Chains A and B, each alone.
Chain A
Amino acid sequence: MGNGRNGRLLSLYIQRSFLEWMGFRSFLFTLVVNQAVAPVLGLAVWSAALPEQRGVSAYFIALLAVQLMTVSYEYHTVSMAIYEGNLNDSLLRPHPMVIAPLGENLATRAWHLLIGFPIVAIAMTAAGVGFDGWDIVVALPALAFAALLRFLFTYALALSALWGQQSGGVTELGSILVFLLGGLAAPIPLMPESIRPIGEALPFRAMLGFPAEIATGSLNRQEIVQGYGWQALWMAVFAAVATVVWTAGVRRYTALGG
């Protein structure tokens, strides 16, 4: 009963946020371009470094799509709400606080996908890259898990504002780790052998690079199963972390106004 109600509320938050964003389409376009830069740069760098390997181009184009569909701005929504005291409003509503930022997150991602799809299509055409339909089907659950995992990670980091008021430094630190170890700086399979197993096990690849690796057909069945295992583990860990951080942090929260 409670879950059904929360589900309906989530759906309403998604609709509301989606419609609100409609008034800021030009700003959304700039956000999408900004999110696309790192994968496009990766594509340029790695295509120049390994011009014969077409798989690298396919990987970064898949990564571009994953990046747009997993983007998380909880620093600007949750963290700033805490800093400015606007969390008061959320605390008074008779539903779990996480529903509103999750709804905003999903609506924002929908817009990123809508606006970013032509960019992905242009990149595919320019690089002469295509994907196997079955690989895409196998990658879809990994993409959904990556999206959830990245939300939980960013949400937990944004909640650190309950202690220090501002969480810009913490969330930036998280973004750098995702860039370096998530497969944006370099595809994990191309990392030196000494650090590759660490990159595969850490949560950052599960948030970004793993679905792109599946989509390009570069993983065998065992590697895919192992990757899904890591995703499941990290989702459980970050869900627990986010819950603990929220429960402990909200007791410290004080605000004037809002």
Chain B
Amino acid sequence: MTLVHVFTVVFSMSLRRSLAFRMNLLFEGLATFLGAGAGLAALGIVYTQADTLGGWSLGEAIVLLGTYQIVSGLLWTFIEPNLRWFRGQVVDGALDDILLRPVPSIFLASLGTCAPLGLLHVVGGVVVLTIGIGRLDAAPTLGSAMAWLLMLGVALAVAWASRVLLASLAFWAPSLEPGVLYSAVWEFGRYPVSMYRPPLRFALTWMIPVSLIGTLPAQALARGAEPVHLVAGPVGAAAAILLVNVVWRAGLRRYTSATS
């Protein structure tokens, strides 16, 4: 059984579970599109008062917002539902169940279930991105589009790695609940990093790579990619994946089951 097959089965089961609550599904859909519209409207109101935000035009900022919503949608769909309560699994020993299955534990723990309704956020993000592209001064080239896709992949890899890394803290400090803080910091990715004051900008670029989520992919699409980003991005993502695997294994060595 390949990981892809497992992934497909997991998605199918999760989708059927979501469809059981049809009224909730309807409102989730409405909320998703209203949320995408609200982000766009908020940005539009800001630009009625200012020409640029951190040096970004309205079109560029909308491209950034759309990219952010796509990455966020994928995070909320595939990663967050698994790791939101990971600490509890470590504390009460429920992680045993994952460790006993014949699939890599890091895969099952971080991608073992999903919230398919989150994909509506991705659809909303694509719509916002399309609107943003339409408002750019010049249409993106094929090269820019390819660079955006590459940086989007980097953003997803780093998002997964950073979320798993944070969840792994539970092996060493089980009293911490870092998931909510992660969501809070993640919100800073919806605006250009250049907008923030220097200390925060430095932290969001080098300490918590929030700039990778939206700013760098959007910059690649709207202004053309910088070669250094195209090289450093994938290298950084590969290093993050390697690091998280090492940390995960070290964490598992500390794990002692709490159940019988």
A residues lining the B interface (CB < 8 Å): 26-27, 30-31, 33-34, 36-38, 41, 44-46, 48-50, 160, 163-170, 172-173, 176-177, 179-180, 185-186, 190-192
Between A and B, 9 residue pairs with Cβ closer than 8 Å are: A27-B180, A33-B180, A45-B53, A48-B53, A166-B23, A169-B27, A176-B31, A185-B38, A186-B45
What's the Cα separation between A27 and B177 when bound, in Å?
Answer: 6
In the assembled complex, the CB of A75 is this many whole angstroms from the nearest CB of chain B, namely 11
1/0 contact trace for B66-80 toward A, CB 8 Å? 000000000000000
B176 part of interface (Cβ distance < 8 Å): yes
Q: Would you call B24 and A168 a contact (CB within 8 A)? A: yes
Q: Would you call A169 and B26 a contact (CB within 8 A)? A: yes
Q: Would you call A166 and B53 a contact (CB within 8 A)? A: no
B25 part of interface (Cβ distance < 8 Å): yes
Which residues of chain B have C-beta atoms less than 8 A from A48's C-beta?
A: 50, 53-54, 195-196
1/0 contact trace for B48-73 toward A, CB 8 Å? 11100110000000000000000000
Interface of B is mostly: helix
Pick from B3-11, B143-151, B155-163, B182-190 the stretch touching chain A. B182-190
Q: Would you call B25 and A37 a contact (CB within 8 A)? A: no
Q: Closest 4 interchain pairs by CB?
A: A169-B27, A164-B23, A185-B42, A169-B28
In the assembled complex, the CB of A240 is this many whole angstroms from the nearest CB of chain B, namely 22
Q: Would you call B177 and A50 a contact (CB within 8 A)? A: no
What's the Cα separation between A132 and B69 when bound, in Å?
Answer: 40
B residues 159-203 touching A (CB-CB < 8 Å): 175-181, 183-184, 187-188, 190-191, 195-197, 200
Which residues of chain B have C-beta atoms less than 8 A from A169's C-beta?
A: 23-31
Q: Which residue of A lies closest to B55 (CB)?
A: A48
With A41-B191, A172-B28, A190-B45 known, 12 other A-B pairs at CB within 8 A are A26-B176, A30-B181, A33-B184, A37-B188, A44-B200, A45-B53, A48-B195, A165-B24, A166-B23, A169-B27, A169-B31, A186-B42
What's the Cα separation between A33 and B186 when bound, in Å?
Answer: 12
Q: Would you call B27 and A180 a contact (CB within 8 A)? A: no
With contacts A26-B176, A31-B180, A50-B49 taken as known, whether A172 is within 8 angstroms of B27 at the C-beta atoms is yes
With contacts A34-B184, A44-B196 taken as known, whether A172 is within 8 angstroms of B176 at the C-beta atoms is no
With contacts A44-B196, A45-B195, A180-B41 taken as known, whether A30 is within 8 angstroms of B24 at the C-beta atoms is no
Q: Which residue of A lies closest to B42 (CB)?
A: A185
How many chain B residues touch A (CB < 8 A): the figure is 40
Which residues of chain B have C-beta atoms less than 8 A from A165's C-beta?
A: 21, 24
Which residues of chain B have C-beta atoms less than 8 A from A49's C-beta?
A: 46, 49-50, 53
In the assembled complex, the CB of B185 is this many whole angstroms from the nearest CB of chain A, namely 8
Q: Of B46, B179, B197, which contacts A186 at CB under 8 A?
A: B46
Q: Which of A36, A49, A191 has the largest number of chain B CB atoms within 10 A?
A: A49
Q: Would you call B53 and A179 a contact (CB within 8 A)? A: no
Q: Which residue of B lies closest to A172 (CB)?
A: B31
With contacts A33-B180, A34-B184 taken as known, whether A191 is within 8 angstroms of B195 at the C-beta atoms is no
Which residues of chain B have C-beta atoms less than 8 A from A34's C-beta?
A: 180-181, 183-184
In the assembled complex, the CB of B30 is this many whole angstroms from the nearest CB of chain A, namely 6
Q: Would you call A30 and B42 a contact (CB within 8 A)? A: no
Which residues of chain B have C-beta atoms less than 8 A from A44's C-beta?
A: 191, 195-197, 200
